[in-house]
Amino acid sequence: TGKTSPGRALFGDTVVVDNIPYQTDHLTNVTPNILAKIGRNLHRTKHHPLYLIRKRIENYFYSHFLNRRGNPLFSVNDSISPVVTLEQNFDSLLVPEDHVSRAPSDSYYINSSYMLRAHTSAHQCELMRSGLDAFLVMGDVYRRDEIDATHYPVFHQVEGVRLFNQHELFQKVRDSTGLNIFEQGGKQTPDKQATHSMETAKLLEHSLKTTLMNLARHLFGQDVKARWVDQYFPFTHPSWELEVHHEGEWLEVLGCGIMKQEILYSAGTGDQVGWAFGLGLERLAMKLYSIPDIRLFWSNDSGFLNQFKDCDPNTNVTYKPVSIYPQCTNDLSFWLPSSADFAFSPNDFYDVVRNEGGDLVEQVFLVDEFVHPKTQRTSHCYRIIYRHMERTLTQEEVNVIHRHIEEQVVKLLGGEIR
């Protein structure tokens, strides 16, 4: 359709990402605020807490997994561009056409062919195709998501993949004669894929869960409280999530599973089997260093950064909040555009808020939704909580930002302020 998208309204015909121009189209929904995060590379910034924890993870894999020659088994890739094709992020991983993660309300699209990766799994296929059997990928990932203390639209993941041939998988089995990694004419069950033998499923699950539980112990100590929860991912079966206990609650820190055989097959390595995981660096760092709010990772404030300045990856640091400044709360109500213009989602509003308010916005939520009985128009009321991480905000300052948000709601989203 010839209708303008919020992306077109922001950038016109071309948007420059990582120094490369791209034609905008109806799917374009990246924002200047998000694009400004590309190249920050917090996971490669010396002494940043995300760098320290990433090194701790790397050291675990370097010291515990060696190949026959005594060299590290896992190779590390930490500088792959976050700009990927939809094929890399979704199709290569068997994500169905109608899966929620493909919705424009959930991912950042540059246009109909390119996007900002929503997970580091986007690189699994290309790295397997290049011949690697064991690798880690570390990088920034981008998602349109809620706004609160543990969610941020840019965060960092570490992907791990390990492949095995028949010999490697059965190496530690006492009598492996007659065992086969594949099984013909089998069926998929909750415990295994159709082409895998039961032994393959059990050995891979054991290897994966021991590797990750030992990583959790390496990070948080021998008596870390952690549990496995069954999960679903389109690219693994069976799949699990690991949760660790943090401040009285279970915090999900990673997803993992046995890689779908179809994916290995299309990567040209169908005679192997393997497991994969993807973990969230911020969540782990928040627990390890007692960092209370995910926005702090983006702070340039010396009060934050200096607490990690002299640390090496093995130092145990406990972050001490500099001080807690007061919040300002403002509500904003508007009539949604009629759905003929474009399908409005709350994430469209959250992006406008982030764009104008940046990290001064601590939380946004929908407090009221209302349909006018006569006109059938829908109105949303959002509550925006503002707080500066390093000083007290005045109500006047907040009002200026709030007014800018109202203006953008009208201009970009076609809303009508009530």
Contacting positions for Mg ion (CB under 5 A): 255
Does 99 participate in binding ligand FA5 (rule CB under 6 A)? no
Nearest by Cα to 363 from 347, 383, 343 = 383
Q: In angstroms, give the least distance from the CB of 152 to ligand FA5.
A: 5
Sole window of 3-11, 211-219, 276-284, 346-354 interacting with ligand FA5 (rule: CB under 6 A): 276-284
CA pair distance 149, 370, nearest whole angstrom? 28
283 binds ligand FA5 (CB under 6 A): yes
Nearest residue to 261 (alpha-carbon basis) of 273, 252, 251, 253: 273
211's contact among ligand FA5, Mg ion, none, with CB below 5 to 8 A by partner kind, is none
Query: Do 192 and 201 contact (CB within 8 A), yes or no?
Result: yes
222-256 residues labelled b (16+ CB within 10 A) or e (exposed): eeeebeeeeeebbbbbbbbbbbbebeeeebebbbb
- 155 lies in the site for ligand FA5, by CB under 6 A: yes
Considering beta carbons, is residue 27 or 286 the nearer one to ligand FA5? 286
220 neighbors 244 (Cβ within 8 angstroms):
yes
DSSP 104: T
24 binds, among Mg ion, ligand FA5, none (CB under 5 to 8 A by kind): none
Smallest separation, CB 240 to ligand FA5 (Å): 9
Query: Residue 254 binds what, of Mg ion, ligand FA5, none (CB under 5 to 8 Å, by partner type)?
Result: ligand FA5
For residue 21, give the H/E element and its range. strand 20-23
Token couple for 4: 């303008």
Nearer to ligand FA5, 279 or 352 (CB): 279
User: Considering the rule CB under 6 A, would residue 287 count as an interface residue with ligand FA5?
Assistant: no
Taking the C-alpha atoms of residue 371 and residue 374, their distance in angstroms, rounded to an integer, is 9
Q: From Mg ion, ligand FA5, none, which one binds at residue 282 (CB under 5 to 8 Å depending on kind)?
A: ligand FA5
Structure tokens at 388: 């500066």
Q: Is residue 277 near ligand FA5 by the rule CB under 6 A?
A: yes
Residue type, 415: G
A 10 A CB-CB count for 387 gives 20
Return d(Cα 47, Cα 312) in angstroms, integer: 7
Nearer to ligand FA5, 151 or 418 (CB): 151
| Of residues 113-132, those binding ligand FA5 (CB under 6 A) | 119, 121
Give the nearer residue to ligand FA5 in terms of CB position, either 342 or 348: 348
Alpha helix locations (H) across 290-360?
302-305, 346-357
Among 282, 348, 351, 356, indicate the residue that binds ligand FA5 (CB under 6 A): 282
Rounded alpha-carbon distances, angstroms, from residue 259 to 162, 164, 200, 238, 279: 9, 11, 12, 8, 16
Nearer to ligand FA5, 107 or 157 (CB): 157
- Partner from Mg ion, ligand FA5, none contacting 212, C-beta within 5 to 8 A by type: none
Minimum separation from the CB atom of position 280 to Mg ion (A): 8
> Which residue, chain included where needed, has tokens 């580091």?
120
Among 30, 38, 128, 254, binds ligand FA5 (CB under 6 A): 254
Which residues sit at the interface with ligand FA5, rule CB under 6 A?
Answer: 119, 121, 143, 145, 151-152, 155, 157, 233, 236, 239, 252-257, 276-280, 282-283
